[in-house]
Structure 1
Amino acid sequence: MKSFLLAAGLALTATVGLAETAVTYTVDQDYDDVTFGLESAITDRGLVIDAVSHVGAMLERTKEDVGSDVTIFTRAEVYSFCSAALSRKVMEADPMNLQFCPYGIFVMQKPGDAQTTIGYRAMPDGPMKEVQMMLDEIVKEAIGE
């Protein structure tokens, strides 16, 4: 796993795992500040948030039902949205790029950890790298990078 520290006046780590398919940034920022920044970064581009999946709350609510007592996240959400212009461009290049839409950015905080992690799925080479560039710009804007 490659990990490096980016200078921005705050503790920020970007990680892209070889076996993993996610790009993440971990910051010393309050979870609510990161999600507010994310919502603003998405909507300021004229994009609409289709859904916010409250994954952390669902896992916590159902842990006993599935025979677990482990709290995985203090909070964890996935924000889903799409860009009509960019989606059309990448799907005209390859209709199979449909599988990546809507785009998602996740925010999470683990128990006992004051840091917040924000990230997205790494996109495959080719036209989808333009989507990855957009996702990275949104995430960096959300955390003030």
Structure 2
Amino acid sequence: MTRLLAAFALALLPQLAQAQDAVTYETDQSFDDVIFGLESAILDAGLVIDSVSHTGEMLERTRADLGSDVVLFSEADVYSFCSAALSRKVMEADPMNIRFCPYDIFVLVRPDAPDTTVIGFNRYPDGPMQEVQTLLDGIARAAIGLE
């Protein structure tokens, strides 16, 4: 369990080596403002939010139980959603693209940078999944007013 939590946390930290696997944007907007922008951008794209994982809360709640004194995030949520039309398109191109669905966008604030909110998503492989990456990029940028 500890390894799983550590691996998940590391995947979200943009300053680490895994950063090339994620597209991230930083803003001075508050976490709540970015979350509001993200929810609005997802809905404006005609999509439905499947779930919100309160990852930061979970990691903080379990920190002491796991013997850690490291506070990873001040706040961190992961929004999951899907597009039936786009998912069908990329899965018709390659049924194994199912492994990328649902699509996730994360928002976080690190304790060492409390005035910076990060929004991002995983990079996708070349080919049909680039259309999904373009969708996620547009949503993330719209959430912080870059679109």
Count of matched residue positions in the alignment of Structure 1 and Structure 2: 131
The Cα of 1:69 is off from its aligned counterpart by 1.0
The Cα of 1:20 is off from its aligned counterpart by 3.2
For the residue of structure 2 that corresponds to 1:70, the secondary structure is coil
Tell me how far apart the structure 2 counterparts of residues 109 and 72 of structure 1 sit (CA, whole Å). Answer: 9
Aligned equivalent of 1:72? 72
For the residue of structure 1 that corresponds to 2:71, the secondary structure is coil
Task: Please list, as runs of the form range in 1=range in 2, the aligned pairs for 1:60-99 lying within 5 A after superposition.
Answer: 60-99=60-99
Q: What is the root-mean-square deviation of aligned Cα atoms in Å?
A: 1.7
The Cα of 1:45 is off from its aligned counterpart by 1.3
Bigger RCO of structures 1 and 2 (CA < 8 A, at least 6 apart): 2
Post-superposition, which runs of at least 4 consecutive aligned residues in structure 1 deviate over 2 A? 17-20
Tell me how far apart the structure 1 counterparts of residues 84 and 55 of structure 2 sit (CA, whole Å). Answer: 26
Aligned equivalent of 1:55? 55
Aligned equivalent of 1:35? 35
Q: Which runs of 5+ in 1 are unaligned?
A: 1-13
Q: Which runs of 5+ in 2 are unaligned?
A: 1-13
For the residue of structure 1 that corresponds to 2:118, the secondary structure is strand
* TM-score of the pair, normalised by structure 1: 0.86
* TM-score of the pair, normalised by structure 2: 0.85
Identical aligned pairs, as a percentage? 64
Tell me how far apart the structure 2 counterparts of residues 127 and 106 of structure 1 sit (CA, whole Å). Answer: 22
Tell me how far apart the structure 1 counterparts of residues 81 and 112 of structure 2 sit (CA, whole Å). Answer: 30
Structure having the larger proportion of residues in helix: 2
The Cα of 1:19 is off from its aligned counterpart by 6.5
Tell me how far apart the structure 2 counterparts of residues 78 and 121 of structure 1 sit (CA, whole Å). Answer: 12
The Cα of 1:112 is off from its aligned counterpart by 3.6
Aligned equivalent of 2:138? 137
Counterpart of 1:75 in structure 2: which amino acid? E
Structure having the larger proportion of residues in strand: 1
